[in-house]
Amino acid sequence: MAQIDTVLTGGTVVTADATFEGAVAIDDGTIVGVGDERAFPAAEERIDVDGNLVLPGVVDPHTHLAGYNSIDTYATGTAAAAAGGVTSLLTFAWQGWDDGEWDDEGTLAGAVERHRQGAEPVVDCGVHPVITQETPAVLEELPALVDDGITSFKMFTTDDIRLSNGFIGEVFRQLADLGAVGMVHTEDYAVCASRTDAVKAAPDGESATAYPRSRPDYAEAMAAGSVARLAAAADAKYYGVHTTSEAAAEAIAAVRTDGSNVRAETCTHYTALTADTYERLGNRAIMSPPLRTSRDVDALFDRLRDGTLSVVSTDHVPLPSEEKEAGPWWESAFGINSLQTSLPVFHDVAVNGRGLSYPALVRLMCRNPAQTFGLPQKGRIEPGADADLVVFDPDETYRITAGRNHSNADYSVYEDRTVTGRVKRTFVRGTLVAADGDVVADPGHGEFLRRRVPDWR
Protein backbone atom coordinates (compact mmCIF):
# COMPACT_ATOMS: atom_id res chain seq x y z
CA MET A 1 0.00 0.00 0.00
CA ALA A 2 1.84 3.07 -1.24
CA GLN A 3 -0.37 5.63 0.46
CA ILE A 4 -3.41 5.68 2.73
CA ASP A 5 -6.19 8.22 2.98
CA THR A 6 -6.00 9.41 6.59
CA VAL A 7 -4.22 8.89 9.87
CA LEU A 8 -5.49 10.10 13.24
CA THR A 9 -2.48 10.64 15.45
CA GLY A 10 -1.42 12.24 18.71
CA GLY A 11 -4.20 10.76 20.84
CA THR A 12 -5.19 7.94 23.15
CA VAL A 13 -6.98 5.05 21.49
CA VAL A 14 -9.71 3.35 23.51
CA THR A 15 -10.92 -0.12 22.63
CA ALA A 16 -13.22 -2.49 24.48
CA ASP A 17 -10.16 -4.07 26.09
CA ALA A 18 -7.43 -1.43 26.42
CA THR A 19 -6.38 2.21 26.40
CA PHE A 20 -3.09 3.18 24.76
CA GLU A 21 -1.30 5.98 22.97
CA GLY A 22 -1.38 5.33 19.28
CA ALA A 23 -2.58 6.24 15.82
CA VAL A 24 -5.37 4.93 13.60
CA ALA A 25 -4.82 4.49 9.88
CA ILE A 26 -7.80 4.74 7.48
CA ASP A 27 -8.07 3.84 3.84
CA ASP A 28 -11.18 3.62 1.67
CA GLY A 29 -13.46 3.96 4.69
CA THR A 30 -11.85 1.09 6.60
CA ILE A 31 -9.38 0.93 9.49
CA VAL A 32 -6.16 -0.53 8.10
CA GLY A 33 -3.84 -0.07 11.07
CA VAL A 34 -3.80 0.71 14.80
CA GLY A 35 -0.65 1.50 16.76
CA ASP A 36 2.63 3.21 15.95
CA GLU A 37 2.21 5.76 13.15
CA ARG A 38 5.72 5.02 11.93
CA ALA A 39 4.56 1.57 10.84
CA PHE A 40 1.90 2.99 8.49
CA PRO A 41 2.26 4.10 4.87
CA ALA A 42 2.23 7.83 4.25
CA ALA A 43 -1.21 9.41 4.58
CA GLU A 44 -2.84 11.91 2.26
CA GLU A 45 -4.28 13.63 5.35
CA ARG A 46 -2.71 13.61 8.80
CA ILE A 47 -5.01 14.72 11.64
CA ASP A 48 -3.45 15.48 15.02
CA VAL A 49 -6.15 14.93 17.65
CA ASP A 50 -4.17 16.93 20.21
CA GLY A 51 -4.09 14.45 23.06
CA ASN A 52 -7.78 13.62 22.98
CA LEU A 53 -9.34 10.17 23.11
CA VAL A 54 -10.13 8.23 19.93
CA LEU A 55 -13.19 6.07 20.55
CA PRO A 56 -15.14 3.76 18.27
CA GLY A 57 -18.30 5.41 17.02
CA VAL A 58 -21.27 4.86 19.31
CA VAL A 59 -23.79 2.27 18.11
CA ASP A 60 -27.25 3.21 19.36
CA PRO A 61 -29.71 0.33 18.91
CA HIS A 62 -32.77 2.13 20.32
CA THR A 63 -33.96 5.29 18.56
CA HIS A 64 -37.18 6.61 17.04
CA LEU A 65 -36.90 8.40 13.70
CA ALA A 66 -39.18 9.09 10.76
CA GLY A 67 -42.40 7.58 11.97
CA TYR A 68 -44.74 6.96 14.86
CA ASN A 69 -43.93 9.14 17.95
CA SER A 70 -41.09 11.03 16.23
CA ILE A 71 -40.76 14.45 14.62
CA ASP A 72 -37.22 13.78 13.41
CA THR A 73 -36.55 12.87 9.81
CA TYR A 74 -33.55 10.71 9.04
CA ALA A 75 -31.69 13.88 8.13
CA THR A 76 -32.35 15.72 11.41
CA GLY A 77 -32.14 12.72 13.72
CA THR A 78 -28.89 11.47 12.26
CA ALA A 79 -27.46 14.99 12.32
CA ALA A 80 -28.05 14.95 16.07
CA ALA A 81 -26.43 11.52 16.19
CA ALA A 82 -23.36 12.69 14.30
CA ALA A 83 -22.89 15.70 16.57
CA GLY A 84 -23.14 13.37 19.56
CA GLY A 85 -20.64 10.76 18.37
CA VAL A 86 -23.23 8.19 17.26
CA THR A 87 -22.08 6.68 13.97
CA SER A 88 -24.61 3.85 13.61
CA LEU A 89 -28.16 3.61 14.86
CA LEU A 90 -31.16 1.33 14.67
CA THR A 91 -34.68 2.72 14.66
CA PHE A 92 -38.19 1.30 14.57
CA ALA A 93 -40.39 0.55 11.56
CA TRP A 94 -43.94 0.20 12.87
CA GLN A 95 -46.22 -2.34 11.26
CA GLY A 96 -49.33 -0.57 9.98
CA TRP A 97 -48.12 2.99 10.64
CA ASP A 98 -48.30 5.06 7.47
CA ASP A 99 -48.01 8.84 7.50
CA GLY A 100 -50.01 9.46 10.66
CA GLU A 101 -52.57 6.68 10.32
CA TRP A 102 -52.76 3.04 11.42
CA ASP A 103 -53.53 0.47 8.72
CA ASP A 104 -54.86 -2.87 9.95
CA GLU A 105 -53.59 -4.47 6.75
CA GLY A 106 -50.04 -3.17 7.18
CA THR A 107 -47.10 -5.56 6.90
CA LEU A 108 -43.65 -5.65 8.43
CA ALA A 109 -42.06 -5.57 4.98
CA GLY A 110 -44.15 -2.51 4.10
CA ALA A 111 -42.95 -0.75 7.23
CA VAL A 112 -39.33 -1.46 6.36
CA GLU A 113 -39.79 -0.21 2.82
CA ARG A 114 -41.31 3.08 4.02
CA HIS A 115 -38.14 3.72 6.01
CA ARG A 116 -35.84 2.97 3.12
CA GLN A 117 -37.67 5.21 0.64
CA GLY A 118 -36.28 8.71 0.45
CA ALA A 119 -34.26 8.52 3.65
CA GLU A 120 -31.12 10.65 3.69
CA PRO A 121 -29.23 9.82 6.86
CA VAL A 122 -25.91 11.37 7.82
CA VAL A 123 -24.79 8.24 9.72
CA ASP A 124 -25.41 4.56 9.03
CA CYS A 125 -28.85 3.20 9.95
CA GLY A 126 -30.94 0.08 10.22
CA VAL A 127 -34.42 -0.81 11.43
CA HIS A 128 -36.19 -3.12 13.83
CA PRO A 129 -39.72 -3.86 12.55
CA VAL A 130 -42.33 -3.47 15.31
CA ILE A 131 -44.97 -6.20 15.40
CA THR A 132 -48.35 -4.64 16.20
CA GLN A 133 -50.76 -7.34 14.96
CA GLU A 134 -51.39 -10.90 16.16
CA THR A 135 -51.80 -12.70 12.84
CA PRO A 136 -50.27 -15.77 11.20
CA ALA A 137 -49.12 -13.48 8.39
CA VAL A 138 -46.64 -11.85 10.75
CA LEU A 139 -44.92 -15.16 11.42
CA GLU A 140 -44.86 -15.90 7.71
CA GLU A 141 -43.04 -12.64 6.97
CA LEU A 142 -40.12 -13.21 9.30
CA PRO A 143 -37.89 -15.55 7.23
CA ALA A 144 -37.75 -13.24 4.20
CA LEU A 145 -36.97 -10.23 6.36
CA VAL A 146 -34.11 -12.05 8.08
CA ASP A 147 -32.78 -13.05 4.66
CA ASP A 148 -32.90 -9.34 3.76
CA GLY A 149 -30.65 -8.41 6.68
CA ILE A 150 -33.41 -7.39 9.10
CA THR A 151 -32.45 -9.52 12.10
CA SER A 152 -34.32 -8.10 15.11
CA PHE A 153 -37.99 -7.44 15.88
CA LYS A 154 -39.77 -5.38 18.56
CA MET A 155 -42.93 -6.15 20.55
CA PHE A 156 -44.89 -4.55 23.39
CA THR A 157 -46.69 -6.02 26.41
CA THR A 158 -48.58 -2.80 27.17
CA ASP A 159 -50.42 0.17 25.67
CA ASP A 160 -52.55 0.06 22.53
CA ILE A 161 -50.09 -2.02 20.52
CA ARG A 162 -49.61 -4.74 23.13
CA LEU A 163 -49.42 -8.40 22.17
CA SER A 164 -50.47 -11.36 24.28
CA ASN A 165 -47.84 -13.48 25.98
CA GLY A 166 -49.07 -16.43 23.97
CA PHE A 167 -48.38 -14.72 20.66
CA ILE A 168 -45.05 -13.33 21.88
CA GLY A 169 -44.07 -16.89 22.72
CA GLU A 170 -44.92 -18.03 19.19
CA VAL A 171 -42.84 -15.19 17.72
CA PHE A 172 -39.91 -16.28 19.87
CA ARG A 173 -40.24 -19.84 18.57
CA GLN A 174 -40.02 -18.57 15.02
CA LEU A 175 -37.11 -16.26 15.84
CA ALA A 176 -35.26 -19.14 17.50
CA ASP A 177 -35.39 -21.09 14.24
CA LEU A 178 -34.09 -18.06 12.34
CA GLY A 179 -31.44 -16.97 14.86
CA ALA A 180 -32.93 -13.47 15.02
CA VAL A 181 -33.46 -11.26 18.08
CA GLY A 182 -36.72 -10.48 19.85
CA MET A 183 -36.93 -7.15 21.70
CA VAL A 184 -39.81 -6.36 24.05
CA HIS A 185 -41.06 -3.30 25.91
CA THR A 186 -42.01 -4.98 29.18
CA GLU A 187 -44.62 -3.52 31.52
CA ASP A 188 -47.69 -5.40 32.71
CA TYR A 189 -50.65 -3.78 30.96
CA ALA A 190 -53.34 -4.62 33.53
CA VAL A 191 -51.26 -3.29 36.42
CA CYS A 192 -50.39 -0.08 34.56
CA ALA A 193 -54.02 0.49 33.52
CA SER A 194 -55.32 -0.07 37.04
CA ARG A 195 -52.67 2.06 38.70
CA THR A 196 -53.12 4.85 36.14
CA ASP A 197 -56.82 5.09 36.98
CA ALA A 198 -56.05 5.13 40.69
CA VAL A 199 -53.34 7.78 40.41
CA LYS A 200 -55.48 10.03 38.21
CA ALA A 201 -58.20 9.94 40.87
CA ALA A 202 -55.82 10.82 43.73
CA PRO A 203 -55.76 14.37 45.16
CA ASP A 204 -52.30 15.02 43.72
CA GLY A 205 -52.96 12.95 40.61
CA GLU A 206 -52.55 15.67 37.98
CA SER A 207 -48.99 16.49 39.00
CA ALA A 208 -46.24 14.99 36.88
CA THR A 209 -44.63 13.91 40.14
CA ALA A 210 -47.45 11.36 40.49
CA TYR A 211 -46.70 9.77 37.11
CA PRO A 212 -44.17 7.12 38.27
CA ARG A 213 -46.83 5.60 40.55
CA SER A 214 -48.95 4.84 37.46
CA ARG A 215 -46.30 2.51 36.00
CA PRO A 216 -44.62 0.94 39.06
CA ASP A 217 -41.38 -0.98 39.08
CA TYR A 218 -43.14 -4.24 39.90
CA ALA A 219 -45.21 -3.94 36.71
CA GLU A 220 -41.96 -3.69 34.78
CA ALA A 221 -40.43 -6.60 36.71
CA MET A 222 -43.47 -8.84 36.21
CA ALA A 223 -43.43 -8.44 32.45
CA ALA A 224 -39.63 -8.50 32.16
CA GLY A 225 -39.45 -11.84 33.95
CA SER A 226 -42.37 -13.38 32.06
CA VAL A 227 -41.09 -12.40 28.63
CA ALA A 228 -37.55 -13.52 29.39
CA ARG A 229 -38.94 -16.92 30.40
CA LEU A 230 -40.92 -17.15 27.16
CA ALA A 231 -37.73 -16.52 25.23
CA ALA A 232 -35.74 -18.99 27.29
CA ALA A 233 -38.40 -21.66 26.77
CA ALA A 234 -38.10 -21.16 23.01
CA ASP A 235 -34.29 -20.95 23.16
CA ALA A 236 -34.55 -17.60 21.37
CA LYS A 237 -32.34 -14.54 21.60
CA TYR A 238 -34.07 -11.97 23.82
CA TYR A 239 -33.11 -8.33 24.37
CA GLY A 240 -34.95 -6.41 27.08
CA VAL A 241 -35.22 -2.72 26.24
CA HIS A 242 -34.88 0.29 28.55
CA THR A 243 -34.53 -1.49 31.91
CA THR A 244 -35.23 1.15 34.56
CA SER A 245 -35.38 -0.50 37.97
CA GLU A 246 -33.66 -2.78 40.42
CA ALA A 247 -36.73 -5.03 40.38
CA ALA A 248 -36.72 -5.46 36.60
CA ALA A 249 -32.97 -6.02 36.45
CA GLU A 250 -33.26 -8.72 39.11
CA ALA A 251 -36.08 -10.39 37.17
CA ILE A 252 -33.88 -10.50 34.07
CA ALA A 253 -30.87 -11.74 36.03
CA ALA A 254 -32.93 -14.62 37.42
CA VAL A 255 -33.58 -15.93 33.89
CA ARG A 256 -30.18 -15.21 32.33
CA THR A 257 -28.43 -18.32 33.78
CA ASP A 258 -25.31 -18.33 31.57
CA GLY A 259 -26.36 -15.12 29.80
CA SER A 260 -26.06 -16.64 26.35
CA ASN A 261 -29.57 -15.86 25.11
CA VAL A 262 -30.98 -13.22 27.48
CA ARG A 263 -29.59 -9.70 27.29
CA ALA A 264 -30.84 -6.27 28.25
CA GLU A 265 -30.08 -2.57 28.10
CA THR A 266 -30.71 0.53 30.08
CA CYS A 267 -30.76 4.10 28.76
CA THR A 268 -28.67 7.15 29.55
CA HIS A 269 -31.52 8.99 31.25
CA TYR A 270 -32.15 6.13 33.68
CA THR A 271 -28.51 6.37 34.78
CA ALA A 272 -28.41 10.18 34.96
CA LEU A 273 -31.86 11.23 36.26
CA THR A 274 -34.28 10.20 39.01
CA ALA A 275 -37.99 10.73 39.62
CA ASP A 276 -37.15 14.04 41.29
CA THR A 277 -36.75 15.37 37.75
CA TYR A 278 -40.55 15.48 37.42
CA GLU A 279 -40.66 18.18 40.11
CA ARG A 280 -38.32 20.33 38.03
CA LEU A 281 -39.36 19.59 34.45
CA GLY A 282 -42.92 18.33 34.77
CA ASN A 283 -44.27 16.68 31.64
CA ARG A 284 -41.11 17.34 29.65
CA ALA A 285 -39.51 14.42 31.48
CA ILE A 286 -42.38 11.98 30.84
CA MET A 287 -41.16 8.78 29.20
CA SER A 288 -42.18 5.14 29.49
CA PRO A 289 -41.20 3.45 31.76
CA PRO A 290 -40.75 6.32 34.23
CA LEU A 291 -37.63 7.57 35.94
CA ARG A 292 -37.06 5.76 39.23
CA THR A 293 -35.20 6.29 42.53
CA SER A 294 -31.53 6.84 43.31
CA ARG A 295 -31.46 3.27 44.65
CA ASP A 296 -32.60 2.05 41.23
CA VAL A 297 -29.85 4.06 39.57
CA ASP A 298 -27.27 2.46 41.86
CA ALA A 299 -28.69 -0.98 41.03
CA LEU A 300 -28.51 -0.29 37.29
CA PHE A 301 -24.82 0.49 37.59
CA ASP A 302 -24.30 -2.71 39.59
CA ARG A 303 -25.97 -4.63 36.76
CA LEU A 304 -23.95 -2.82 34.11
CA ARG A 305 -20.83 -3.96 35.92
CA ASP A 306 -21.90 -7.59 36.31
CA GLY A 307 -23.16 -7.93 32.72
CA THR A 308 -26.87 -8.37 33.37
CA LEU A 309 -27.25 -5.10 31.45
CA SER A 310 -24.83 -5.00 28.53
CA VAL A 311 -25.84 -1.92 26.51
CA VAL A 312 -26.60 1.76 27.16
CA SER A 313 -28.88 3.30 24.51
CA THR A 314 -30.87 6.51 24.20
CA ASP A 315 -34.48 5.58 23.38
CA HIS A 316 -34.39 8.90 21.50
CA VAL A 317 -37.96 10.13 21.02
CA PRO A 318 -38.00 13.63 19.51
CA LEU A 319 -41.16 15.58 20.31
CA PRO A 320 -42.13 19.26 20.45
CA SER A 321 -42.59 20.74 23.90
CA GLU A 322 -46.18 21.69 23.00
CA GLU A 323 -47.07 17.99 22.77
CA LYS A 324 -45.53 17.41 26.17
CA GLU A 325 -47.13 20.28 28.08
CA ALA A 326 -50.65 20.64 26.67
CA GLY A 327 -52.40 19.09 29.68
CA PRO A 328 -51.97 16.72 32.65
CA TRP A 329 -49.29 14.05 32.48
CA TRP A 330 -51.59 11.41 30.99
CA GLU A 331 -52.09 13.63 27.94
CA SER A 332 -48.36 14.10 27.42
CA ALA A 333 -46.62 12.28 24.60
CA PHE A 334 -44.09 9.78 25.93
CA GLY A 335 -40.39 10.24 25.27
CA ILE A 336 -37.33 12.48 25.43
CA ASN A 337 -34.63 13.30 22.88
CA SER A 338 -31.00 12.55 23.67
CA LEU A 339 -29.03 11.32 20.63
CA GLN A 340 -26.83 14.41 20.70
CA THR A 341 -26.14 14.32 24.44
CA SER A 342 -26.03 10.64 25.38
CA LEU A 343 -22.27 10.06 25.13
CA PRO A 344 -21.26 13.23 27.02
CA VAL A 345 -23.88 12.70 29.73
CA PHE A 346 -23.16 9.00 30.25
CA HIS A 347 -19.43 9.71 30.23
CA ASP A 348 -19.94 12.33 32.92
CA VAL A 349 -22.12 10.23 35.23
CA ALA A 350 -20.42 6.88 34.64
CA VAL A 351 -16.72 7.62 34.09
CA ASN A 352 -16.34 10.89 35.96
CA GLY A 353 -18.98 10.18 38.60
CA ARG A 354 -18.66 6.44 39.26
CA GLY A 355 -15.24 5.47 38.04
CA LEU A 356 -16.32 3.35 35.06
CA SER A 357 -13.33 2.61 32.86
CA TYR A 358 -13.08 3.87 29.30
CA PRO A 359 -12.94 0.33 27.89
CA ALA A 360 -16.16 -0.40 29.81
CA LEU A 361 -17.79 2.66 28.25
CA VAL A 362 -16.74 1.39 24.81
CA ARG A 363 -18.17 -2.04 25.56
CA LEU A 364 -21.52 -0.65 26.66
CA MET A 365 -22.02 1.96 23.94
CA CYS A 366 -20.04 0.61 20.98
CA ARG A 367 -18.89 -3.00 20.88
CA ASN A 368 -21.76 -4.73 22.70
CA PRO A 369 -24.63 -3.18 20.73
CA ALA A 370 -22.81 -3.87 17.46
CA GLN A 371 -22.24 -7.50 18.42
CA THR A 372 -25.75 -7.93 19.82
CA PHE A 373 -27.43 -6.76 16.62
CA GLY A 374 -25.27 -8.29 13.92
CA LEU A 375 -22.95 -5.42 12.97
CA PRO A 376 -19.45 -6.93 13.05
CA GLN A 377 -17.90 -3.97 11.17
CA LYS A 378 -19.09 -1.48 13.77
CA GLY A 379 -18.24 -0.51 17.35
CA ARG A 380 -14.54 -1.43 17.33
CA ILE A 381 -11.13 -0.03 16.47
CA GLU A 382 -9.23 -2.77 14.69
CA PRO A 383 -8.00 -3.46 11.17
CA GLY A 384 -10.85 -4.42 8.86
CA ALA A 385 -13.55 -2.57 10.80
CA ASP A 386 -15.39 0.42 9.39
CA ALA A 387 -13.58 3.66 10.19
CA ASP A 388 -16.34 4.95 12.47
CA LEU A 389 -14.44 7.03 15.01
CA VAL A 390 -15.01 9.74 17.59
CA VAL A 391 -12.44 12.24 18.80
CA PHE A 392 -13.49 12.95 22.38
CA ASP A 393 -12.07 15.53 24.79
CA PRO A 394 -12.55 14.03 28.27
CA ASP A 395 -11.65 17.25 30.03
CA GLU A 396 -13.72 19.94 28.31
CA THR A 397 -16.57 21.21 30.45
CA TYR A 398 -19.62 22.81 28.88
CA ARG A 399 -23.32 23.50 29.40
CA ILE A 400 -25.94 21.59 27.44
CA THR A 401 -28.64 23.65 25.78
CA ALA A 402 -31.42 22.79 23.35
CA GLY A 403 -30.42 25.83 21.34
CA ARG A 404 -27.72 23.59 19.85
CA ASN A 405 -30.13 20.75 18.98
CA HIS A 406 -29.85 19.32 15.50
CA SER A 407 -32.94 17.26 16.27
CA ASN A 408 -36.29 18.86 15.51
CA ALA A 409 -37.06 18.60 19.24
CA ASP A 410 -37.09 22.05 20.83
CA TYR A 411 -36.10 21.15 24.38
CA SER A 412 -33.70 18.92 26.35
CA VAL A 413 -34.15 17.27 29.73
CA TYR A 414 -30.47 18.13 30.24
CA GLU A 415 -30.97 21.86 29.65
CA ASP A 416 -28.32 23.88 31.56
CA ARG A 417 -26.65 20.71 32.84
CA THR A 418 -22.88 21.09 32.96
CA VAL A 419 -20.91 18.04 31.83
CA THR A 420 -17.25 17.27 31.41
CA GLY A 421 -16.42 15.44 28.18
CA ARG A 422 -17.20 16.65 24.68
CA VAL A 423 -17.39 15.18 21.19
CA LYS A 424 -14.93 17.06 18.98
CA ARG A 425 -15.09 15.13 15.70
CA THR A 426 -17.10 12.25 14.31
CA PHE A 427 -16.09 10.10 11.35
CA VAL A 428 -18.35 7.62 9.53
CA ARG A 429 -16.47 5.20 7.29
CA GLY A 430 -13.51 7.56 7.28
CA THR A 431 -15.46 10.69 6.35
CA LEU A 432 -15.71 13.59 8.78
CA VAL A 433 -19.43 14.13 9.44
CA ALA A 434 -19.38 16.44 12.48
CA ALA A 435 -16.88 18.82 14.04
CA ASP A 436 -17.26 20.81 17.26
CA GLY A 437 -21.02 20.32 17.29
CA ASP A 438 -21.54 21.29 13.65
CA VAL A 439 -22.60 18.75 11.04
CA VAL A 440 -20.28 18.99 8.04
CA ALA A 441 -21.47 16.07 5.89
CA ASP A 442 -24.50 16.23 3.65
CA PRO A 443 -27.63 14.15 4.30
CA GLY A 444 -27.26 10.93 2.39
CA HIS A 445 -23.73 10.05 3.48
CA GLY A 446 -25.18 7.40 5.77
CA GLU A 447 -26.10 3.98 4.42
CA PHE A 448 -28.82 1.50 5.32
CA LEU A 449 -27.26 -1.43 7.12
CA ARG A 450 -27.73 -5.02 6.09
CA ARG A 451 -27.22 -6.92 9.34
CA ARG A 452 -26.12 -10.47 9.97
CA VAL A 453 -27.86 -12.97 12.18
CA PRO A 454 -25.87 -12.24 15.35
CA ASP A 455 -23.70 -14.75 17.14
CA TRP A 456 -24.34 -14.41 20.87
CA ARG A 457 -21.85 -17.01 22.05
At 359-395, the pLDDT tens digits run 999 999 999 999 999 999 999 999 999 999 999 999 9
The arithmetic mean of pLDDT across residues 205-216, rounded, is: 97
Q: What single letter denotes the amino acid at residue 361?
A: L
The CATH code for residues 57-372 is 3.20.20.140
Q: Report whether pLDDT(200) > 70.
A: yes
Specify the pTM. Answer: 0.98
Find, among 79, 83, 87, 80, the residue nearest to 60 by Cα.
87
Q: How many helices (H) and strands (E) does the chain have?
A: 15, 19
Identical fold for domains 3-54+382-407+418-439 and 57-372, yes or no, is: no
Q: Label residue 102 by pLDDT band (50, 70, 90).
A: confident
CA distance 106 to 108: 7
CA distance 264 to 88: 19
Domain definitions of the chain by residue range: 3-54+382-407+418-439, 57-372
Mean pLDDT of the chain: 97
CA distance 269 to 300: 11
The arithmetic mean of pLDDT across residues 142-163, rounded, is: 97
CA distance 172 to 288: 24
- Say what the pLDDT of residue 1 is: 60
Class of domain 3-54+382-407+418-439: mainly beta
CA distance 254 to 292: 21
Bridge pairing between strands 311-313 and 262-267: parallel
- Say what the pLDDT of residue 246 is: 98
Residues 375 and 59: beta-carbon distance below 8 Å: yes
